[in-house]
Amino acid sequence: MTRSLLAALAATVALPAFANGELNLYSSRHYDTDERLYSDFEEMTGIKINRIEGNADELIARMEAEGANSPADVFLTVDTVRLTRAKDLGLLQPVESEVLEAAIPAYLQDDDNQWFGFSQRARILFYDKEDVANPPATYQDLADPAYEGMICIRSATNVYTQNIVAALIAHLGEEAIQDWATAVVGNFARDPQGGDTDQLRGLASGECDIAMSNTYYFARALRRDVDGLGAEELEGIGWVFPNQNDIGAHMNISGGGVATHAPNRDNAVAFLEYLASEQAQEYFSAGNDEYPAVPGVALSDSVAQLGIFRPDVIDLSTIAENIQAANRVLTNAGWE
């Protein structure tokens, strides 16, 4: 593919059909709104996307079993843990792309250019405005005995939990976060259960007073009806972007990379470059209430309502390096 063609793609200009018009996408993104992303790419390029969708771990296992015969061109998933696992298993290859290097901030790229982040979700704290007069201002505050019996949060097996603990270890050290995690477990309102929306429902039902969730679940509820999170329930929920005076709010990503044995490598790179285009970046926000990875791209109204904040810009590769330590901390803390 020529550089001028890549530039045209990044600018979302209509493109001619490619010589090899297929792309095999292994994706664990499960959002109906992504249909628009795929159809726009197909219309712009003439490349037909063949989607193989499923659980990220299952897709990784499938790629590993398929080996050199794998038809996978792109692996797309919703967390750093699985992207790192795919890399460590040799399932991704380096991508040298001026378009991606220019568009995606360095901290949202793998150090070896084997994967890139394309959208973000801030993992922040929500609270019952009636019952919590002094909400926690930092992640560290969750360990305060004043919040005993108040916290709803996801399980230790959840990648979002693992990611934020890994990030905190990177910032503050394993010993300090071991003490923190043990204290947080002591403040649980209930055993960890359910997804992020369930944590927010826990606030709405009064089962807990403080919860941790990715922003896009709350923003989605602001935009459309979500069972158990109607206008009345949302009115009673406040939110805090933690650690605004130091490390910033933790960010989770959705990202992808080119498979090691990609039979349609040029098309795969073109697809990643398309995901970094302004058109696709705007749709990550408008269609799925996420934050774009590319700076300066407009936010949807539902996301903008949450306000401006300082994100944690720790290199995601550093978080990945601390996942093993995070799992150790969680186990030792009795975080189920």
Q: Which among 46, 41, 43, 44 has a CA at the least distance from the CA of 76?
A: 41
Q: Tell me the binding residues for Fe cation.
A: 30, 216-217
The type of residue at 282 is E
CA separation for the pair 85, 89 (Å, rounded): 6
Inter-axis angle of helices 323-333 and 159-172, nearest 10: 100
Q: Tell me the binding residues.
A: 30, 216-217
Nearest-5° angle of CA 97, CA 99, CA 103?
120
Note the Cα 49 to chain centre separation in Å.
Answer: 22
DSSP-derived pairing of the beta strands 22-27 and 74-77: parallel
Helices (H), the chain: 3-10, 35-45, 56-66, 80-88, 98-103, 159-172, 174-186, 196-205, 215-223, 231-235, 265-275, 278-288, 301-304, 316-321, 323-333
CA separation for the pair 319, 190 (Å, rounded): 27
Inter-axis angle of helices 196-205 and 215-223, nearest 10: 70
Buried b (16+ CB within 10 A) or exposed e, 66-94: eeeebbbbbbbbbbbbbbbbbbeeebbbe
Local structure of 101: helix, strand or coil? helix
DSSP label of 115: -
Radius of gyration over alpha carbons of the chain, in Å?
20
